[in-house]
Amino acid sequence: MAKKPTSINIGFSTWEINDYIRECRNVVRWNARLAIDWMDAIRPRLQTEIQTNNYNRAVEYINTFLENLETYRYYDKREIWENDRVRRATPCHDFD
């Protein structure tokens, strides 16, 4: 897998949170650790029920993608997670 720079310096506004949530679904394909870090940074900044619903749908997609990835023959845990533990995105239950 190709490695891209990992930067967590994200500024947030309501519109940008929705963009980052949507982008995390794409980022997980080439850098799972960065996508999970972004999702962790986004979770405390959710302000509306719509954002929370979008976030939870992205969590479901990301976690399903990672579970499926582990079933593939070419999956290498050390390559994906390096020295980090295997992680999954955490859903938000603030508006349930």
Q: Does residue 76 form part of some domain?
A: yes
Percent of the chain beyond pLDDT 90?
42
Q: Does residue 22 form part of some domain?
A: yes
- Note the pTM of the prediction, 2 decimals: 0.77
Average pLDDT, the chain: 83
Q: Does residue 50 form part of some domain?
A: yes
- Per-residue pLDDT tens over the stretch 43-52: 998 988 999 9
Domain that holds residue 75: 14-81
Q: What angle do CA 40, 44, 48 make, to 5 degrees?
A: 120
More confident call, 81 vs 2 = 81
- Per-residue pLDDT tens over the stretch 7-37: 555 555 555 888 989 999 999 998 899 999 9
d(CA 28, CA 48): 24
Say what the pLDDT of residue 61 is: 96
Q: Does residue 87 form part of some domain?
A: no
Q: How many domains does the chain have?
A: 1
